[in-house]
Structure 1
Amino acid sequence: MLDFQFNLLAVLLVLVTGVLAYILYFELELILGTFTFYTYSIWGIATFKEALLLILAGNVFPAYFYPQVLKQVASYLPFQYSFSAVGMLAQTPSWQLFLQIVVIQIGYIILLILLFKVLFKWSSTKTVIQGG
């Protein structure tokens, strides 16, 4: 019975961080969407973002294979907290890791929503729409 409760708790921890990771990824997409005010095609920017996500989130290779400099840079960016942090927690569930991930995810969520609001306000005041 104790083993079942531990697994249920681990699933709950992963679900919470998964929901926060999705919100974080959604905010990254919102910020990317503000660039549509300045370009006809966002394909190149979106492709670049996907490449960054694959590399810096540890989706191409696990992050522990990266050189120390790249690990250090990736640890300060929100990409790994929208993908690989959930996997790390699923592999080794612990309260300490859970709290660390959740605090960082919530911090990035707040920071990115503020950044989006500033970018959107600035972009929408500079937009000129022509047509009939």
Structure 2
Amino acid sequence: MVNSNRAEDVTAENERSLSTLLRTIARFQGSFSLTLVCCNYASLRYAMLEKLRDLSTVEYQELVLEPATKILHQTILNAVQEQPPKALIVVGIESVVALDDLLAGANRSRDQFKQDFAFPVITKKLSRWKI
């Protein structure tokens, strides 16, 4: 009985988080925002992305980072320059080999993100990010 209640609690919390993410994407149309999401399991992330695709009224683009990605800003710019999305979901950040360098470079160019990207960017929160 306890496990059943716990599973229901987790499912309800995941649904609330998904609703919050949907509202955030809709609210920040036309302006830059960075949203960090935490998802403990790859299978859950894929399930939540599938639900997001089904429920979102805002069309968004997904960008999968390669392990060899070195510069986040330029990678995003290359992916969106022809057709800027209404929102961008960046996946695979945890697989980047030189992650510390990628994050340090993103931090150094943070003002450039606001200037170049007029849409919300959503990515996975990493445990080493201190917000």
Relative to the length of structure 1, the TM-score reads 0.36
Greater helix share, structure number: 1
Which of 1 and 2 has greater Rg? Answer: 1
